[in-house]
Chains A and B, each alone.
Chain A
Amino acid sequence: MEKEQLEALKKEINDVKDVANEALSEEVLLGNSFEFEIEGKTYRVSKPTFGQKQEVYKKRVEKFTQLLQDKQLLLEKDLKKQYKERGIDIDEMQKKILELERNKQDLQLKLAQGIIDQISESELKTFREQIESVEEEQLSVAIEKNTLLEFSIEQQIFVFVYIYLTYLIAEIKDENGKWSRVWNKFEDYENEKEDIVKTVTYYSSLLLKDEITG
């Protein structure tokens, strides 16, 4: 296949994915619960209730205490110290991210002034490219920083909270149309088929976006 044809096909596939994702995002946005099917069964994830959030909070404290006792694991601040000894400065990365944000804001003010003053499209494009380049650099530093801190206790707690909340909010519909919890114990969730866990977690992550902090 010619390179152009391959590019066109890739674009077409991405466009189809965008339409599918758009429909999915729209569906997730319109309610505070979301139904989907896996292997012919109907599942549902819903916005966590106050009680469920309280339960997660208790589990979070428990998990934190448990991980803290494991001498193999490190808190972010200790991990940062170890990286610094190896010549990697995480705090400097954070400073860099903020510095890039200030650069971006300066460029945004210039670009907006240009839009208002109706300067030429090529000048606007130059500002746009400069901003996008700063954003790319900012993203790259942020990804590097997050990857380095991925195994800190704090990050592990964050992932655990997501998983535990998914376990709590997932429901399944029986033949009489009645909803009940998919898993009665967390161990049942952990022993579930990978496909089901992955799908339920994917849909719950769409609904739980920004619902949990830290």
Chain B
Amino acid sequence: MLTQEELIRKLAKSNKYQTLFTYFKESGVQFFRNNTDYTQIQITFLNWLNFYSTIYLDIALDYVSEIVLENNTYEDAYFYYKSKNKTKMYEEKTKKVSKKDKNIETQTTGSFTWVMKNKPSKK
């Protein structure tokens, strides 16, 4: 039998709640019956929604394959790794992208890395 935390994760991972969460983040659509005064369990749920939203985004950006969603152990491991290697992962990914497409140019400015399809023209 699933524990309460496992059930919350299952709901947070579902298409239904991921879609609602996107609307909630982008246009402030009411997510819970209460608009304010969230319970601790609602805050935990929002954290899990954010956790899965991040993983789905990383899959879409090709940072990681869908196999990560196979079980909680893979998901937790990936998220822990990501929190430890955030910058490294991004740099590795941009290197891979530049190898794939020679027209793509990367420029690092401060903490941001800009990825451009075409080289900027030199004036």
Q: In the complex, what's the smallest C-beta–C-beta distance from A185 to chain B, in angstroms?
A: 26
| Partner-A contacts on B (CB < 8 A) | 1-2, 4, 7-8, 10-11, 32-34, 37-42, 44-45, 63-65, 67-68, 71, 73-74, 76-78, 80-82, 84, 89
Interface size on A, residues (CB 8 A): 35
Specify the main secondary structure of chain A where it touches its partner.
Answer: helix
Interface centre among B10, B65, B77 (most CB of A within 10 A): B77
Specify the main secondary structure of chain B where it touches its partner.
Answer: helix
A29-37, A70-78, A159-167, A174-182: which lies at the interface: A29-37
Question: Which residue of the partner chain, among B1, B39, B65, contacts A14 with CB atoms under 8 Å?
Answer: B1
Pairs of residues from A and B, 3 with the lowest C-beta to C-beta distance, nearest first: A112-B81, A31-B33, A108-B77
Question: Which residue of the partner chain, among A18, A132, A207, A211, contacts B1 with CB atoms under 8 Å?
Answer: A18
Interface residues of A in 70-121 (CB under 8 A from B): 105, 107-109, 111-113, 115-116, 118, 121
Q: Determine the chain A residues whose CB is within 8 A of the CB of B2 once the complex forms.
A: 18, 21-22
| Partner-B contacts on A (CB < 8 A) | 14, 17-18, 21-22, 25-26, 28-32, 47, 105, 107-109, 111-113, 115-116, 118, 121, 124, 127-128, 131-132, 206-211
Q: In the complex, what's the smallest C-beta–C-beta distance from B86 to chain A, in angstroms?
A: 12
Interface centre among A17, A28, A29 (most CB of B within 10 A): A29
A-B contacts besides A116-B78, A209-B41, A211-B39, 17 pairs, CB < 8 Å: A18-B2, A25-B4, A25-B11, A29-B32, A32-B37, A32-B38, A32-B42, A47-B39, A108-B77, A112-B77, A115-B64, A116-B64, A128-B73, A132-B73, A209-B40, A210-B41, A210-B44
